[in-house]
Amino acid sequence: MISFQSVIKAYNSGDKIITAIGGVSFAIEPGEFVSLVGKSGSGKTTLIKLLVGEEKPTEGSVFFQDLEVSTARSEVLQKIRRKIGVVYQDYKLLLNKTVKENLSYIMEVIGAPQENIDADIPQVLSIVGLDQRMNNFPHELSGGEKQRLAIARALIHRPQVIVADEPTGNLDLYNTYEIISLLQKINNLGTTVMLSTHNKEIVDALKKRVITLESGKIISDEKVGKFIL
Amino acid sequence: MNSFFKNIFRFGWANFYRNKLLSFQVIFVMVVVVLTVTSLFLFKGLASYLIGEIEKRVDVVVSFKREASEEDILKVKEKLYSFSQDIENIDYISKDRALELFKEKHVNDPVYQQALNELQDNPLLASLNVKANNLKSYADITGFLEKNEDFASLINKISYNDTTHKQAIEKLILITNGVKQAGITIGVILSLLVILITFNTVKLSILSFKDEITTMKLVGASSRFVRGPFVIQIFICGIFSVAIADLIIFCGSFYLNNKISTWLSQFNILNYFQGNLLFLVAIQISIVIILGFISTWLASRKYLKI
């Protein structure tokens, strides 16, 4: 479903070339739950950016369902992005839209009928505990609430893959547990989940596949992995 | 497709009223743009009127020798009409009519009255007063009369050949040409300024949505779906700015009309504005739509490349 083939991503920084990803290859099959583990700056976020076509690899290829993301035309990239729900570390919420509109926008993008939009939004907001904040704007939400909204947005259109970049960073223990349980439930229903985290407890408790990154390279890829850093 | 446009209009309207300060800034700049374009139009109307008024006061008088008969002179008149389409009017002034006019003109001047009484014959000559639509035509008309052998022997004098008359017409041609060229130059400069100002304002407003545009693209929105609401937002600002600018111009014309009516009795700026209102609104809306669309398209292009 997802395949990284000898991917290198380097940035020019003045006279220096900084290598964020240094020759990474791995594949994720449909229905898998994969934790991407690594310290800050290890390349986790860059891998996510490469997957959604926000960045292009310097070398190598990234595939999503046999479509090469790195060379995809705009229309193809749109289709790929509509199949992936991403929880961004910096939330990337639509600041001029209410909580409800942030969710309905995604459904309108995929062309969902109004009845589905009206039915699904309260349901998903209830799951993430934001049903009372439907008409608030993102700037009126706390950090945890923004994160939950970002999660709700990634789920709302029932994507084939959910990619979550540090989705519990601003959540307390209880909400962290709730969100991880939710991701597990979604995964049990057949959705592929790619979770980027440096939370040892979560990774160890999941008992799922763990890909460990260090300085842009994979140092371990275990079927039932543990947090080794 | 229907819901696509419905959503674009809904988001555009939401962008407009949720970002009041930004919308106000765009409207303010667009009001200036519309005022500039409309003022230019009103200035053109006023300049055309003034040039027309000056041109109306200019004519060329062709006076005929004493022996030229009325029939000969009327033939010359006919030939002149067929020579140039620029001729607006030719008045035949017979000797008797010329004397009447002279007497009317100097009715309160005893010296002239006495001199006329002492004369046995009418000393004045018959003439044709030629009025042309175009100042430049007078030189051609004079040339035509001088070169034609049938007329040359009948003509006593053509006023265009007087140095002062000729110089006055040439000076007027220079002035009217200068006014027209200045109008075009000012128009081009102001149009460029208007384009630049609009583009920069739209660019700044799009810049404030930069992160949102990126997010919209990352969740799979098409460029049209992202760009559409911004076009609608600018369009709504444009409609408001046209309404505000026209209200300002209406009030301004009403005020100015009272002021300038004393020295421009024939030109009613308010009537001119009202008479051209439909045309003006069509032009103004076209300008804000076209400029708004192109500016939004160009300004958002960079952020849509993700």
How do residues B7-35 score in pLDDT, each as one tens digit? 899 999 999 999 899 899 889 988 988 89
Spell out the residues 6+ positions from residue A139 whose beta carbon is closer than 8 angstroms to its own: A95
Residues of chain A with confidence (pLDDT) below 70: none
For range B166-180, the mean pLDDT: 83
Tell me what pLDDT residue B107 has. 82
Q: Considering only residues A124 and B55, tell me which one the structure prediction assigns the higher pLDDT.
A: A124
Burial (CB count within 10 angstroms: exposed 0-12, middle 13-18, buried 19+), residue B97? middle
pLDDT at B1 over 70: no
Question: Helices A173-188 and A143-155, interaxial angle, to 10°?
Answer: 0
Chain B environment of A69 (Cβ under 8 Å): none
Q: Which domains does chain A have, with CATH numbers?
A: 2-222 (3.40.50.300)
User: Which residues are paired to A35 by β-bridges?
Assistant: A195, A210
Spell out the residues 6+ positions from residue B216 whose beta carbon is closer than 8 angstroms to its own: A94, A105, A109, B225, B226
Question: How crowded is residue A173: how many other Cβ atoms within 10 Å of its Cβ?
Answer: 9
Q: Does the beta-carbon distance from B221 to A109 stay under 8 Å?
A: yes
Chain A contact residues (CB < 8 Å to B): 52-54, 74-75, 78-82, 86, 92-97, 101, 105-106, 108-111, 114, 153
Q: How far apart are CA B71 and CA B97, in angstroms?
A: 16
Q: Does the beta-carbon distance from B219 to A109 stay under 8 Å?
A: yes
Tell me what pLDDT residue A68 has. 94
Angle at B11 between CA B5 and CA B16, to 5 degrees: 125
The ranges assigned to domains in chain B are: 2-54+172-304, 59-134
Q: Does the beta-carbon distance from A92 to B7 stay under 8 Å?
A: no
User: Measured between CA atoms, how close is A109 to chain B, in angstroms?
Assistant: 5
Dihedral, A187, A193, A199, A205 alpha carbons, nearest 10? 30
Q: Does the beta-carbon distance from B215 to A94 stay under 8 Å?
A: yes
**Considering CB atoms only, which of B7, B212, B222 is closest to A94?**
B212
Spell out the residues 6+ positions from residue B9 whose beta carbon is closer than 8 angstroms to its own: B232
Chain A environment of B221 (Cβ under 8 Å): 78, 105, 109
Tell me what pLDDT residue B153 has. 83
What is the separation, in whole angstroms, between the first and last Cα of chain B? 24
For range B227-243, the mean pLDDT: 92
Residue for token digits 């779906």? Answer: B225
**Considering CB atoms only, which of A78, A97, A114 is closest to B220?**
A78
Contact status, residue A24 vs residue A4, Cβ threshold 8 Å: yes
User: Measured between CA atoms, how close is B231 to chain A, in angstroms?
Assistant: 16
Tell me what pLDDT residue A161 has. 95
Contact status, residue B194 vs residue B291, Cβ threshold 8 Å: yes
- Residue B153 identity: S
The share of chain B scoring above pLDDT 70, in percent, equals 99
Q: How far apart are CA B157 and CA B243, in angstroms?
A: 58
Q: Does the beta-carbon distance from B220 to A97 stay under 8 Å?
A: no
Contact status, residue A162 vs residue A155, Cβ threshold 8 Å: yes
pLDDT at B111 over 90: no
Q: Does the beta-carbon distance from A82 to B15 stay under 8 Å?
A: no
Mutate to test the interface with A, among B8, B208, B219, B305 (most CBs of A within 10 A): B219
Chain B environment of A86 (Cβ under 8 Å): 218-219
- What are the CB-based long-range contacts (under 8 Å, 24+) for A198-205? A198/A37, A198/A38, A198/A39, A198/A40, A198/A166, A198/A229, A199/A168, A200/A227, A202/A35, A202/A168, A202/A176, A203/A35, A203/A37, A203/A227, A205/A180
**Considering CB atoms only, which of B3, B15, B221 is closest to A96?**
B15
Q: Characterize the bridge pairing of strands A192-197 and A161-165.
A: parallel
Q: Does the beta-carbon distance from A54 to B306 stay under 8 Å?
A: yes
pLDDT tens, residue by residue, A118-171: 999 999 999 888 999 999 999 999 888 898 899 999 999 999 999 999 888 777
Tell me what pLDDT residue A83 has. 94
Chain A environment of B16 (Cβ under 8 Å): none
Q: How far apart are CA B207 and CA B204, in angstroms?
A: 5
Q: Does the beta-carbon distance from A96 to B215 stay under 8 Å?
A: no
pTM value? 0.76
